[in-house]
Copies of this chain bind each other. A is one copy, B any other.
Amino acid sequence: MKFVKIPSIVITRLSTYARNLKILEQKGVDVVSSVRLADICGTNPAQIRKDLAYFGQFGVKGVGYYVKELLFEIGKILGLDKEWRLGLVGVGNLGLALLRHTHFMNHGYTFVAAFDEKPERIDIRIGDIEVAPLEAINRLVKEKGVEIGVIAIKPVWAQKAADMLVMAGVCGIVNFAPIQLQCATHVFIENVDFSLKLDILCYRLTSARSRQRR
Cα–Cα, bound, A8→B172 (Å): 27
C-alpha spacing A208/B187, complex, angstroms: 10
Within 8 A of B (CB), among A166-214: 171-174, 176-178, 180, 186, 188, 190-208
Nearest-Cβ distance from residue A178 to partner chain B, whole angstroms: 6
**Secondary structure type dominating chain A contacts:** helix
A49 within 8 A of B: no
Report how many copies the assembly holds. Answer: 2
Q: Is the CB of B171 within 8 A of A106?
A: no
CB distance from A31 to the nearest CB of B (A): 21
Q: Which residues of B contact A97 (CB under 8 A)?
A: 92-94, 96-97
A11 partner, pick from B12, B79, B199, beta carbons under 8 A: B199
Q: Is A73 an interface residue (CB 8 A)?
A: no
Give CA–CA (A14, B200) in the complex, Å: 9
| A72 contacts the other chain (CB 8 A) | no
